[in-house]
Amino acid sequence: MKITAAVARPGRTGFDIAPLSLDDPREDEVRVRIAGVGLCHTDLVFRHAGEAVYPLPAVFGHEGSGVVEAVGSAVTRFRPGDRVAISYRSCGACDRCHDGDAPYCRTMPLLNYTGARTDGTRALHDEAGDVASNFFGQSSFASHALTYERNLVKLPDDVPLELMGPLGCGIQTGAGGVMNSLAARAGSSILITGGGS
């Protein structure tokens, strides 16, 4: 299908808004119409590092929200019309995933940082050829993204969908940093600086 995306290209700064073709969902994929995204430092680091770190051209975006439009035949927990937040991809099968430590999934780099599906194919294309996709299992800097069940969380109907994108990284990372790493107790004082989530 034809979509619009913010594309990072070699030899350029920033992003070009451009038409792309998006593959139909495979059996384990979910197509989401994006309603909101967060812009994270991680997206900018990968963009500015360029081809030394990630293949270009590419579509980044790793914290999105939207509405499920289509699901593959193996997808069981989501259906068209579901409102969702999209986060990083994990395998669900390794020891770390089984222990509840999905952010430290043994296959995290393969699933999130290669610019392709695990079989090496890319889900995005332009007139010149393939465009790196599957950034954090989503590439949500686009009107539509292909993602996976483990990336998705259903959202209630009464939350503003366009504001839920940062739940996928910024809010959970910030909350996790305060609650888990810092272990701030109720009633304690902390100082949070910066303008992010």
Residue 70 maps to a domain: yes
d(CA 135, CA 155) in angstroms, rounded, equals: 22
- pLDDT-wise least confident of 39-43, 119-123, 127-131: 39-43
Q: Once rounded to an integer, what is the mean pLDDT over residues 43-57? A: 85
Residue 84 maps to a domain: yes
pLDDT of 19 reads 98
Percentage of the chain with pLDDT > 70?
Answer: 96
Residue 177 maps to a domain: yes
Q: Does the pLDDT value for residue 197 go beyond 90?
A: no
- DSSP for the chain, written as a single string: -EEEEEEE-TT-SS-EEEEEEEPPP-TTEEEEEEEEE---HHHHHHHHHGGGTS-SSEE---SEEEEEEEE-TT--S--TT-EEEE-----S-SHHHHTT-GGG-TTHHHHHSSSS-TTS--SEEETTEEEB--GGGT--SBSEEEEEGGGEEE--TTS-GGG-GGGGTHHHHHHHIIIIIS-PPTT------SS--
Residue 53 maps to a domain: yes
Q: If we measure between CA atoms, which residue out of 152, 77, 90 comes closest to residue 118?
A: 90
Residue 195 maps to a domain: no
pLDDT digits (tens, 9 = 90+) for 164-192: 888 767 666 777 777 777 888 889 888 87
Q: How many domains is the chain partitioned into structurally?
A: 1
Per the structure, the complete domain to which residue 20 belongs is given by: 2-181
Residue 187 maps to a domain: no
pLDDT of 11 reads 87
Q: Quick check: pTM over 0.75? A: yes
Residue 87 maps to a domain: yes
Q: What is the CATH number of the domain that holds 99?
A: 3.90.180.10
Cβ atoms of 124 and 130 closer than 8 Å: yes
Residue 57: asked if its preceding bond is cis (omega within 30°), the reply is yes
Q: What is the mean pLDDT of the chain?
A: 91
Percentage of the chain with pLDDT > 90?
Answer: 70
Cβ atoms of 139 and 3 closer than 8 Å: no
Residue 94 maps to a domain: yes
